[in-house]
């Protein structure tokens, strides 16, 4: 726990069991359920599903939906707030059908609705049956088709609210509504002066991409009144950014939004809903701080600040409490899925074995480097050893280029260099003061664990915006880990690495993992990947989507679970087809090439058939490395 801080980021769902394996308790209101993650891995293997896999815990999704809704209801009750909570799930955060289905199902008792931000999302959302009272909120820029679809939704009896993001949308909405003779329900998004803090802070402020200025909101209300549609303006919307790290920005936004709502009410606009958007953060790094990957508040505090903040303003202004809408996506989905990958190898410079024995006539640079080894025992200054070794290594590379030293000499010198660095690093652990230049030694010496996955597919945000995601081994957490490492993926891209981890003291560039044992599989998980990562992932190196397993806990046995569904990931032929290839034509081309070699007598006919089958098997196989037996 000290090293991995599972309880801190786990949101109550993950912890380290006594056997050192990761355990999952997938429902906040059922603490007795405890699933050993290693048994999940065993079951996945039994099912014949190849790693890497995305594991989705549907119970966690359900739990988060219930938790958010219950928290709002509780807070509303305590505050004697007059409005109701009518939350929506923004499908952009994870559009996967099974995910949305589960959220809709879990949300039905709470009249929990859906939000769409594009035409494709709106078409998706319309196909789901949410409860009669639930809302469907439409954000994002809209064309005429989008508006017509929204009005179709009205015809179907849904409470669809079209949130106007820019003024011209209002004009076309009114025109189409009149043409179709359907009353729309309209929301306006306010361009807020409050800016969130964190990576998404540009969602607020004067240069925000979305929303109407105060003047435009007033004009919109007047225009609707003139058009005889004043009664359609029902909702005020604002969203100051995702992953709000500081609770103060939430309070500020509620204060500003509350005031705008109150003024509009006083102007005679019959608004009934205030939508506070998304932004409820996730504590990815477990620091509970205002770091970009964390947040300095809990869900309870967030909800209370929305409810009490709105109540205070409305009471002061003597206007009715509006119904409250929030569009939390990240907080609903982040915890439910993770990526499980096998560590398939270790890359370590200082472990390379090479005979460094002195030979006759060896270059003085090599013997100098070797002579540094005893320097540790005669009390030489550590910085001095580092300086000399570094200088000789640089000189050796130049000398090699000038044909002064041989390849073998360079190999000896480099091997000695890394041995010296490893020893230096050990010695530095005994001293109080570590010179600045030597601080990077730990990282330089750390191993790189090669993981069978692609950062670009499975953890896009760690690459794109330096998001910290928790990484932990699935087993052996009761053993002191002896390897400091960073993680590298199997893409041919040097950016395909993770070197920011949750450490004992804040964020660290190395992760502590266990020594790989020959013949023993070692799995690590990348957690909290359920929000945004699935859909932001790309096909770099044609790796494509991962196999997925969907897990449900078993009602009868608290330690048991079942795989409800396996969703097969990308096959090579699948990703090639996306790139306009024709896999069957490719197979034929390769077969022809093999046949030519058979005809020429270079390949035996039987062997030729085997090669042809092998090519086809690979074409239909999984894109990732084949590991395990
Ligand atoms: N609503 C709107 C308008 C958004 O733009 C977003 C995402 O940025 C969300 C809701 C979801 O935000 P979050 O995932 O932070 O809850």
pTM of the model: 0.92
280 domain-assigned: yes
Token pair in block for residue 115 = 């939000």
CA 328 to centroid of ligand 1, rounded, Å: 6
**What per-residue confidence (pLDDT) applies to 195?**
72
Pair 323, 196 in one domain: yes
109 domain-assigned: no
Burial class (CB in 10 A: 0-12, 13-18, 19+), 255: middle
Between helix 407-428 and helix 364-371 the angle, nearest 10°, is 20
CATH number of the domain encompassing residue 419: 1.20.58.930
34 domain-assigned: yes
Closest CA to 285 of 466, 148, 134: 466
**Which tens digit of pLDDT belongs to each residue from 216-254?**
999 999 999 999 999 999 999 999 999 999 999 999 999
120 domain-assigned: no
Distance CA 430, CA 474 (A): 32
CATH number of the domain encompassing residue 161: 3.20.20.10
Pair 184, 318 in one domain: yes
177 lines ligand 1 (CB under 6 A): no
Pair 427, 353 in one domain: yes
Pair 254, 313 in one domain: yes
- Residue 350 to residues 346, 347, 401, 470: CA-CA distances in angstroms? 12, 9, 23, 27
Sequence-distant (≥ 6) Cβ neighbours of residue 605 within 8 angstroms: 598
CA 272 to centroid of ligand 1, rounded, Å: 21
Pair 390, 471 in one domain: no
Token pair in block for residue 397 = 């590379």
Distance CA 472, CA 539 (A): 25
For residue 128, give the 3-state DSSP assignment.
Answer: coil
- Residue where one domain finishes, among candidates 265, 296, 328: 328
118 domain-assigned: no
Pair 289, 152 in one domain: yes
- Residue where one domain finishes, among candidates 380, 412, 442: 442
Token pair in block for residue 510 = 């190395």
Give the number of the atom of ligand 1 that is nearest the alpha carbon of residue 189: 3
Range of the domain at 205: 139-328
Distance CA 169, CA 617 (A): 52
Give the number of the atom of ligand 1 that is nearest the alpha carbon of residue 242: 15
Parallel/antiparallel/unpaired status of strands 497-498 and 561-567: unpaired
64 lines ligand 1 (CB under 6 A): no
553 lines ligand 1 (CB under 6 A): no
Pair 474, 535 in one domain: yes
**What per-residue confidence (pLDDT) applies to 194?**
81
Low-confidence ranges of the chain (pLDDT < 50): none
Pair 548, 565 in one domain: yes
Pair 170, 313 in one domain: yes
- In DSSP terms, which residues pair with 14 in a beta bridge? 24
Distance CA 211, CA 239 (A): 9
Answer yes or no: are the C-beta atoms of 299 and 291 closer than 8 Å. Answer: no
85 domain-assigned: no
Pair 385, 399 in one domain: yes
Half-sphere exposure of 529 (CA within 13 A, CB side): 28
- Residue 143 to residues 31, 152, 169, 454: CA-CA distances in angstroms? 47, 14, 8, 36
127 domain-assigned: no
387 domain-assigned: yes
Q: Which of 88, 246, 278 to mutate for ligand 1's pocket (most ligand atoms within 8 Å of CB)?
A: 278
Report how many domains make up the chain.
Answer: 4
**What per-residue confidence (pLDDT) applies to 604?**
97
Minimum CA distance residue for ligand 1 atom 7: 242
ipTM at complex level: 0.99
Pair 342, 467 in one domain: yes
**What per-residue confidence (pLDDT) applies to 377?**
85
| Distance from the Cα of residue 94 to its chain's centroid | 11
102 lines ligand 1 (CB under 6 A): no
CA 115 to centroid of ligand 1, rounded, Å: 10
- Residue where one domain finishes, among candidates 394, 417, 442: 442
Pair 460, 558 in one domain: yes
């Amino acid at each position: 726990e000290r090293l991995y801080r599972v309880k801190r980021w786990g949101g109550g769902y993950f912890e380290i069991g006594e056997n050192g394996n990761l355990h999952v308790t997938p429902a906040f209101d059922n603490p007795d359920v405890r699933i050993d993650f290693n048994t999940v891995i065993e079951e996945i293997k039994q099912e014949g599903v190849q790693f890497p896999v995305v594991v989705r815990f549907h119970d966690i999704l359900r739990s988060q939906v219930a938790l958010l809704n219950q928290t709002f209801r509780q807070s509303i009750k305590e505050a004697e707030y007059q409005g109701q909570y009518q939350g929506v799930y923004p499908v952009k955060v994870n559009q996967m059908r099974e995910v949305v289905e589960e959220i809709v199902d879990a949300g039905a008792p709470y009249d929990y609705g859906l939000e769409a931000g594009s035409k494709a999302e709106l078409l998706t959302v319309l196909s789901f049956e949410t409860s009669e009272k639930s809302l469907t909120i439409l954000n994002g820029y809209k064309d005429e088709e989008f508006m017509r679809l929204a009005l179709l939704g009205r015809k179907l009896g849904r409470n669809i609210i079209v949130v106007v993001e820019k003024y011209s949308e209002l004009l076309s909405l009114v025109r189409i509504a009149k043409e179709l003779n359907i009353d729309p329900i309209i929301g306006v998004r306010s361009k807020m002066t409050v800016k969130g803090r964190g990576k998404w802070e540009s969602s607020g402020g004067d240069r925000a991409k979305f929303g109407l200025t105060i003047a435009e909101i007033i004009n919109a209300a007047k225009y609707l009144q003139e058009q005889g549609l004043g009664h359609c303006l029902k909702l005020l919307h604002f969203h100051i950014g995702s992953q709000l790290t500081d609770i103060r920005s939430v309070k500020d936004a509620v204060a500003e939004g509350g005031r705008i709502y109150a003024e509009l009410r006083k102007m005679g606009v019959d608004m009934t809903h205030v939508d506070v958007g998304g932004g409820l953060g996730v504590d990815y790094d477990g620091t509970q701080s205002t770091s970009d990957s964390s947040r300095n508040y809990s869900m309870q505090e967030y909800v209370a600040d929305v409810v009490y903040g709105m109540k205070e303003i409305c009471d002061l202004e003597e206007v009715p409490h509006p119904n409250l809408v929030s569009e939390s996506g990240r907080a609903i989905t982040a915890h439910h899925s993770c990526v499980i990958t096998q560590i398939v190898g270790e890359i370590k410079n200082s472990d390379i074995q090479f005979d460094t024995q002195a030979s006759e006539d060896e270059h003085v640079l090599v013997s100098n480097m070797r002579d540094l080894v005893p320097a540790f025992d005669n009390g030489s200054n550590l910085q001095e050893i580092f300086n000399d070794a570094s200088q000789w290594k640089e000189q050796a590379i130049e000398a090699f280029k000038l044909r002064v030293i041989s390849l073998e000499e360079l190999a000896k010198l480099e091997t000695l260099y890394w041995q010296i660095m490893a020893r230096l690093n050990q010695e530095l652990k005994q001293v109080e003061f570590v010179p600045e230049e030597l601080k990077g030694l730990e990282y330089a010496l750390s191993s790189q664990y090669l993981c069978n996955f692609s950062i670009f597919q499975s953890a896009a945000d760690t690459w794109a915006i330096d998001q910290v995601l928790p990484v932990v081994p699935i087993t052996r957490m009761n053993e002191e880990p002896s390897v400091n490492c960073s993680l590298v993926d199997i893409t041919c891209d040097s950016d395909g690495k993770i070197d920011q981890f949750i450490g004992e003291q804040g964020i660290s560039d190395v992760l502590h993992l266990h020594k790989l044992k020959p013949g023993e599989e070692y799995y690590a998980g990348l957690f909290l990947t359920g929000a945004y990562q699935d859909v932001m992932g790309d096909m770099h190196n044609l790796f494509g989507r991962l196999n997925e397993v969907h897990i449900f806990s078993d009602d009868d046995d608290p330690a048991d679970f079942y795989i409800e569904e396996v969703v097969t990931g990308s096959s090579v032929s699948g990703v090639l087809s996306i790139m306009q290839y024709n896999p069957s034509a490719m197979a034929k081309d390769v077969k022809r090439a093999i046949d030519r070699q058979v005809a020429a007598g270079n390949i035996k006919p039987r062997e030729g058939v085997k090669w042809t089958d092998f090519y086809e098997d690979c074409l239909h196989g999984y894109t990732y490395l084949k590991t395990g037996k």
